[in-house]
Every structure is written in structure tokens, then in C-alpha cells.
């Protein structure tokens, strides 16, 4: 730089540089995320200021980030047309530590409790450049400054220099950071690598990011006299290679030459979809975004989504999706080992893609949360435990439940079966078979019910809400699913409890002697055939004030009978069967709890049942199956 002035780094900065430079940390990629995030912040600033002062954009209208490399010089350049920095800014921003918490970060780093990838959260992300560079040069032009300045620092030195850029003003506005790559960081001077990193970290940064692609190509040499091996570098972004050939030359073997072409490739998707107005986003766009973030979906569409702004103490935007198929890593697997696929963004920059923003039982949900209110000066672990995350988690969980509920209540979609009856050649109407249509929610529910049930079991705060999503088959539902709400509305006037019976399959349950009296009285009984069902009901206990009661327990009472009559009949039975009861008690001894007269048998003479507080036979069967 012209009139280069040396400046000393603040002691804390020197310490950070020391740690970064000497770190054995392998994942050096983070530097690019940090520099893009700074560029994006700078663009956000100018965008905000230009709302009231549009003239600020006069020197350069585009708001964008451009990344290029020179593999011979082994440099990597990240340029943005953001706010830029004045000379004072350079000293304050790139020579001192602006935020508190840095000391803590350094301590945590030294203790191994934090790693370098968290550097951005401590307000010192810029220095991660030294993970890959032994010299960093920052050229920058602020709209309020007539000059373009250069800041530069060499790896390991405790001072940096600032001076006027000898090239004059080359940037309309903004900042251009040039990294002189270390020997072991050559891999970053490569289009494929850069594009992959940009996609990974900044896919949804709201500003366009271009990566410059340099390619060498063999093309026919039009100029006979030219040296066949000559390499020509084109200054054009795109090279126009003429395809026309001279007829006379056709016979001769063509001479070839190598040319280098350059092309700017936009490497991130369009503006973060969750930041856009709902009304402006088409279903196709939502599905496209889903396919990008839900890798597990393997290109399948989402079943539905919820896109919302949460406002209050904590503001955030979120977009969550329900898959149509159970994620493969989920099937047969232990829910507890399933990793979340929620992405956490802070100011549009990806912080983590497996942050626990939802309870485990909702791990099938994929989505994004973006908040400007998250503190950056805490590490990931603290953030995970922070109150803000707890608030976000609560709200997003509710929204997911609402989304499923809405889906369950949605109208039956039109299908081809709704087409009119066909008419054959002779004019006869071929009536379409009346195919019974299944609501898409029920198809979805079949696949995802273990998660919903897990929710009822684990999520006390949302247990009631989740129980409304449960569907069951019953003795009167004709093999169709009904909700607990449906069950309650079908109840007899005098019926106080919700009856269920659990077993291996519906066929077996239908034949159960316990069912006789219930069928006779036309009482609806829920059939539970999944292992989790009874466990779920033991947590749920009741629905709409009606207690869940298994019909195999021995205290089943029917409330439709006259109490007086019952009493007299019980007395008569007791007298009559007393000898038999005594005999049976003797005969079975300790194998049973007690023998008693039952009111609930039809044609079966006797049944073995479980006590009210005992395990049901089905639960015992499940436990036996699990313990081998």
C-alpha cells in the first residue's frame, strides 16, 4: 500500500491469531462460511441504509458476492459490494476485538470445550482466514470515503499495515479480501471445492454468490502460423469460439490450441425462501426447497408444510415440512438415535444443520429456523440449553402439531376416481366401481403413528393436542380409522368410560370372550394392536374427561343397570355359586388372585382377567417378547 502505516494488533487479537495459526483443527472450511457471512452482513447494511438513501448505491447497484481464485498465484478472493470500510473501520474492526466473550472462547478452545468452527459466534470470525492463508489483504471502499484502502497482515506477525490502495479506486463500493493460501490449503483454489462449500454453508444467503469458474479447453487453432502449444488467456468472461471452418483447410489435420475460459457461476439458490412473503411462493417452489434441505426425501414431495413468522420476545421465521415417507434412517430404528434435520440460521447464515429445535419424536420433520435474536456470543452447547431455544422449540412444536391437525381435517382431495362414469360404444353407462377413498391423512398416519404415540407418551405439555391426532379401529368402525373424538360422540348416554381391548390382531380381539357383553350391549370397544398403544393410554389416562378402561380388567361396571336389581341378583348368585368359588380357589391356589362372579359374560362360562392395577395379558405378552 501507499504510505503504509504499521499498526499493532490488540493483545487479544494476537492471542486469537496465535491459536488459529497453530491450531491442529482439521476442518478449515469454516473460514469461507465466516467470510461469506461478513460479506452478507456488509450487504445487509448497505441495503438497509439505501432504503432511505438510494444514492448510496450509485457507485454500484448490484448487491452480490463474488469468489474467484488464481491457482498459479495461489490466491483466493472474496469480494462483496457491501458497505465497505473506512480507514478507521479497518483499525477498529480488523485490529481489535469488538465483543466481549472472546476471552471465554479462547479459554474454551484451550480446554478443548469449544472448537474453531464456533469462531463466528464470538465475533472474531474474520481471523479464521489464517487457517488457510499466510497473508491476508483487504481492499475496501466505503461510500463516505474518497479513497480505497488496503489492510494487510502476514501470518504470525503482531502488526498489520494500512494504506491507500496503489491501484486507486477499483471497487465501486465494498470489500475484496485476498487470501494467499498456505501450502496445505491449495485445495481451495478450485472451482468444485468452492462451489460445494458455498452450497453447503450459504445456500440460502439472501444475496447472490458467484464463483468464478476457470477452464482450459482445446480448440482448433485458426491461426496457421501460431505456435500450436500457445496458451492464450481470454479476458472475456465467456469465450466465443468460432465453429466455422475454412473449406480448404478441411483436409489437413487440425492444429489445436489451449485457451482458458472464465465464467461466473451463481452458486447459491435464490433468496432464502423463508424470508419471502408466503403469498409470493408457489407450491412448486416450496417443494423444490424441500428437496434441497431434506436429503432423506430422495426427491419425493413433502406432504405439507407450515411457513410462519413468530413474533414476541423472540422473533424468528420458520418453515417446516412433513415428509410423505418415513425417513429410511428412521425405520425399525431407535427414535432416540435419530438425528434432527432442522437447520438453524442466524441472519441467514447456517449455524447448524442438526440443531435440536424439535423434540425427538418429531425428528421426521425437516425445516429451517432463522432468527436475528439469537446471541452469537455463546457456544453451541450453551445455545442448545438457552431459554431462547426453549421458546423457539415450544413454538415450532406447536406449529408442527397444528400442521398435522390441519392435514387430518383437510378435505378429501379430488382424484381420478371422481371422473364421470364412462359410456361404452353402445351407449351403455359403465358404472365405476364405488371405490372407497381413504383420506390421505390416514395413509400418512399408518406410517407415522409410532412417532405420534411416542409424543403422547413423552410430551406432557402437548399430550392432549397429540391425542387428537391418534386414529383407532374399533369393534364398530368396520375396519376404518376413527378418532377419539368420534368415539366419544358415539358413546351411549349412560357410558362413562372409553373401552378398549389390546391384543395381537383385530381378528383375535373380535373373538375374545371379553367382547361378548360389549357386543350384546352395542358398546364400542377400541382395538389396540400396536405395542405402544397400552403404554400410550396409560399416560393419556383419559380423553375429554372419559377414562380409558380395558375391558379385560375385573372391575368393569356397566352403568345402564338398575343398582337395586343388581344388588339382589349379586346376592342370589353369591349364594348359588359359593361352593364352586371355594372349590376353584382351592384348586388354583396361588396361581390366581381371586375367583369372582362376573356380570359381563355372554356365552362363555368363565374368563381369566387381569386386575385393575395389574398388567394386561397383552402387556405381559409384549414384555415377554422383549426379554429374551
Cell 479480501 found at: 177
Judge residue 514's burial from the number of C-beta atoms within 10 Å of its C-beta, 0-12 exposed, 13-18 middle, 19 or more buried: buried
382 assigned to a ligand binding site: no
Q: Which is nearer to Mg ion, 38 or 449 (CB)?
A: 38
Out of 124, 197, 342, 525, the only residue in the binding site for ligand ADP (CB under 6 A) is: 124
Least CB distance from residue 138 to ligand ADP, whole Å?
8
Is 93 annotated to bind ligand? yes
| CA 496 to mean position of chain CA atoms | 43
Q: How far is the CB of 292 from ligand ADP (least distance, A)?
A: 26
CA distance 201 to 40: 12
Binding mask 71-100 for ligand ADP (x = CB under 6 A): ---------x-xxxx-------xx------
Supply the minimum distance, in Å, between the C-beta of residue 549 and ligand ADP.
60
Q: Where are the alpha helices (DSSP H) in 376-468?
A: 380-385, 387-409, 440-458, 463-467
If one asks whether residue 550 binds Mg ion (CB under 5 A), the answer comes out as: no
C-alpha cell at 355: 440443531
Check whether 380 is labelled as a binding-site residue: yes
Whole-number Å distance between alpha carbons of 243 and 245:
6
Number of Cβ within 10 Å of residue 577's Cβ equals 15
Chain position whose Cβ is nearest to Mg ion: 125
Quick check: 125 binds Mg ion (CB under 5 A)? yes
498 phi and psi angles, rounded to 5 deg: -100, 120
The H-assigned helical ranges of 185-295 are 191-202, 283-293
CB of 171 to ligand ADP, least distance (A): 11
Secondary element (H or E) of residue 467: helix 463-467
The residue from 1, 123, 163, 172 that contacts ligand ADP (CB under 6 A) is: 123
At 168, list the grid cell. Answer: 486507486
Indicate which single residue of 29, 35, 38, 609 sits in contact with Mg ion (rule: CB under 5 A): 38
Q: Which is nearer to Mg ion, 201 or 286 (CB)?
A: 201
Is 337 annotated among the ligand-binding residues? no
Closer residue to Mg ion (CB): 347 or 463: 347
Q: With CB under 5 A as the contact rule, which of the stretches 36-44, 191-199, 224-232, 369-377 interacts with Mg ion?
A: 36-44
Answer yes or no: are the C-beta atoms of 612 and 553 closer than 8 Å.
Answer: yes
Q: How far is CA 401 from CA 326, 409, 451, 452, 465, in A?
A: 17, 12, 12, 10, 7
C-alpha span between 563 and 230 (Å, rounded): 108
- Segment lying near ligand ADP (by CB under 6 A), choices 35-43, 247-255, 289-297, 495-503: 35-43
> Between residues 124 and 531, which has the closer beta carbon with respect to ligand ADP?
124
Minimal distance, residue 331 CB to ligand ADP, in Å: 41
Beta-carbon contacts of residue 15 (< 8 Å; ≥ 6 apart) = 106
Neighbouring C-beta atoms of residue 410, cutoff 10 Å: 12
Does 38 interact with ligand ADP (rule: CB under 6 A)?
Answer: yes
C-alpha cell at 112: 478443548
Task: For 324-435, list the strands marked E by DSSP.
Answer: 341-346, 349-352, 366-371, 422-423, 429-430
Q: Provide Rg for the chain, Cα atoms.
A: 36
3-class DSSP assignment, residue 514: coil
Q: Which is nearer to Mg ion, 25 or 338 (CB)?
A: 25
* Side-chain-side CA neighbours of residue 423 (13 Å): 3
User: Between 120 and 208, whose beta carbon lies closer to Mg ion?
Assistant: 120
Task: Consult the annotation and say whether 85 binds a ligand.
Answer: yes
Q: Is 34 in the site for ligand ADP (CB under 6 A)?
A: yes
- Applying CB under 5 A, the span of 35-43, 434-442, 588-596, 608-616 interacting with Mg ion comes to 35-43
Of residues 313-372, those binding Mg ion (CB under 5 A): none
Size of the site for ligand ADP (CB under 6 A): 17
Q: Residues 182-211 vs ligand ADP: string with x where CB under 6 A?
A: ------------------------------
Among 13, 39, 131, 185, binds ligand ADP (CB under 6 A): 39
Told to check if 102 binds Mg ion by CB under 5 A, we report no
CB of 131 to ligand ADP, least distance (A): 13
* Nearest distance, CB of residue 1 and Mg ion, angstroms: 23
Q: Find the part of the chain contacting ligand ADP (CB under 6 A) among 123-131, 260-268, 453-461, 618-626.
A: 123-131
Q: Is 80 annotated as a binding residue?
A: yes
DSSP string, 550-582: ETTBTT---TTS-HHHHHHHHHHHHHHHHHHHH
Residue written as grid cell 408457489: 282
Minimum separation from the CB atom of position 135 to Mg ion (A) = 20
- Nearer Cβ to Mg ion (99/574): 99
Q: Does the annotation flag 598 for ligand binding?
A: no
Using DSSP's 3-state secondary structure scheme, residue 62 falls into coil
Q: What is each CA distance from 127 to 27, 66, 117, 142, 156, in whole angstroms?
A: 15, 20, 12, 21, 12
Q: How far is the CB of 411 from Mg ion (least distance, A)?
A: 48
To 10 degrees, what angle do helices 11-22 and 102-111 make? 30
d(CA 219, CA 256): 5
**Which residue do the cell numbers 355359586 mark?**
577
Residue 479 beta carbon to Mg ion: minimum distance, rounded to whole angstroms: 59
Q: Which residues bind ligand ADP (CB under 6 A)?
A: 34, 38-39, 41-42, 80, 82-85, 93-94, 123-126, 175
Q: Which residues bind Mg ion (CB under 5 A)?
A: 38, 125
Q: Residues within the annotated binding site?
A: 34, 38, 80, 85, 93, 100-101, 175, 380
Q: Residues within the annotated binding site for ATP?
A: 34, 38, 80, 85, 93, 100-101, 175, 380
Amino acid at each position: 500500500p501507499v504510505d503504509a502505516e504499521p499498526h499493532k494488533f490488540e493483545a487479544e487479537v494476537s492471542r486469537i491469531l496465535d491459536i488459529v495459526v497453530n491450531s491442529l483443527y482439521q476442518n478449515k472450511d469454516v473460514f469461507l462460511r465466516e467470510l461469506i457471512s461478513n460479506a452478507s452482513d456488509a450487504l445487509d447494511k448497505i441495503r438497509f441504509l439505501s432504503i432511505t438513501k438510494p444514492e448510496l448505491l450509485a457507485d454500484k447497484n448490484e448487491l452480490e458476492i463474488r469468489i474467484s481464485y488464481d491457482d498459479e498465484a495461489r490466491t483466493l478472493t472474496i469480494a462483496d459490494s457491501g458497505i465497505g470500510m473506512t480507514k478507521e473501520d479497518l483499525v477498529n474492526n480488523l485490529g481489535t476485538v469488538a465483543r466481549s466473550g472472546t476471552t471465554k472462547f479462547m479459554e474454551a478452545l484451550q480446554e478443548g470445550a469449544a472448537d474453531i468452527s464456533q469462531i463466528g459466534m464470538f465475533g472474531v470470525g474474520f481471523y479464521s482466514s489464517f487457517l488457510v492463508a499466510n497473508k491476508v489483504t483487504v481492499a475496501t471502499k466505503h461510500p463516505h470515503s474518497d479513497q480505497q484502502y488496503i489492510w494487510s497482515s502476514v501470518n504470525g506477525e503482531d502488526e498489520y499495515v494500512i494504506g491507500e490502495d496503489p491501484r486507486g479506486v477499483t471497487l465501486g463500493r465494498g470489500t475484496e479480501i485476498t487470501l494467499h493460501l498456505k501450502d496445505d490449503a491449495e485445495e481451495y483454489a478450485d472451482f468444485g471445492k468452492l462451489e460445494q462449500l458455498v452450497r453447503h454453508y450459504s445456500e440460502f444467503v439472501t444475496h447472490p454468490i458467484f464463483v468464478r469458474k476457470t477452464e482450459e479447453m482445446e480448440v482448433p487453432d485458426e491461426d496457421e502460423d501460431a505456435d500450436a502449444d500457445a496458451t492464450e488467456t481470454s479476458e472475456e468472461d465467456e469465450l466465443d469460439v468460432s465453429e466455422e471452418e475454412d473449406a480448404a483447410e478441411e483436409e489437413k489435420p487440425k492444429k489445436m490450441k489451449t485457451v482458458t475460459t472464465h465464467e461466473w457461476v451463481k452458486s447459491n439458490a435464490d433468496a432464502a425462501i423463508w424470508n419471502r412473503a408466503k403469498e409470493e411462493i408457489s407450491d412448486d417452489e416450496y417443494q423444490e426447497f424441500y428437496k434441497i434441505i431434506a436429503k432423506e426425501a430422495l426427491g419425493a414431495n413433502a406432504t405439507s408444510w407450515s411457513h410462519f413468522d413468530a413474533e414476541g420476545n423472540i422473533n424468528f421465521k420458520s418453515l417446516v415440512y412433513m415428509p410423505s415417507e418415513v425417513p429410511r434412517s428412521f425405520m425399525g430404528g431407535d427414535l432416540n438415535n435419530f438425528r434432527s434435520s432442522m437447520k438453524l440460521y442466524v441472519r441467514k447464515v447456517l449455524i447448524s444443520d442438526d440443531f435440536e429445535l424439535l423434540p425427538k419424536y418429531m425428528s421426521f420433520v425437516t425445516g429451517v429456523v432463522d432468527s436475528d435474536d439469537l446471541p452469537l456470543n455463546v457456544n453451541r452447547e450453551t445455545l442448545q440449553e438457552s431459554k431462547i431455544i426453549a421458546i423457539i422449540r415450544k413454538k415450532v412444536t406447536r406449529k408442527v402439531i397444528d400442521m398435522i391437525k390441519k392435514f387430518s381435517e383437510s378435505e378429501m382431495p379430488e382424484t381420478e376416481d371422481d371422473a364421470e362414469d364412462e359410456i361404452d360404444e353402445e351407449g351403455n353407462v359403465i358404472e365405476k366401481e364405488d371405490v372407497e377413498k381413504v383420506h390421505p391423512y390416514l395413509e400418512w398416519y399408518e406410517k407415522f403413528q409410532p412417532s405420534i404415540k411416542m409424543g403422547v407418551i413423552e410430551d406432557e405439555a402437548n399430550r392432549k393436542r397429540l391425542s387428537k391426532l391418534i386414529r383407532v379401529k374399533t369393534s364398530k368402525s368396520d375396519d376404518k380409522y376413527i378418532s377419539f373424538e368420534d368415539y366419544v360422540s358415539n358413546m351411549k348416554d349412560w357410558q362413562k368410560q372409553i373401552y378398549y381391548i389390546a391384543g395381537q390382531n383385530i381378528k383375535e380381539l373380535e373373538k375374545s370372550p371379553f367382547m361378548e357383553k360389549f357386543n350384546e350391549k352395542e358398546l364400542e370397544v377400541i382395538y389396540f394392536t400396536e405395542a405402544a398403544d397400552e403404554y400410550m393410554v396409560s399416560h393419556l389416562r383419559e380423553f375429554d374427561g372419559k377414562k380409558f378402561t380395558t375391558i379385560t380388567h375385573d372391575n368393569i361396571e356397566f352403568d345402564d343397570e338398575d343398582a337395586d336389581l343388581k344388588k339382589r341378583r349379586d346376592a342370589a348368585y353369591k349364594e348359588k355359586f359359593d361352593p364352586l368359588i371355594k372349590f376353584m380357589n382351592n384348586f388354583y391356589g396361588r396361581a390366581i388372585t381371586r375367583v369372582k362372579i362376573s356380570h359381563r359374560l355372554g356365552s362363555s362360562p368363565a374368563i381369566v382377567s387381569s386386575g385393575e392395577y395389574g398388567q394386561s395379558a397383552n402387556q405381559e405378552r409384549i414384555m415377554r417378547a422383549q426379554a429374551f
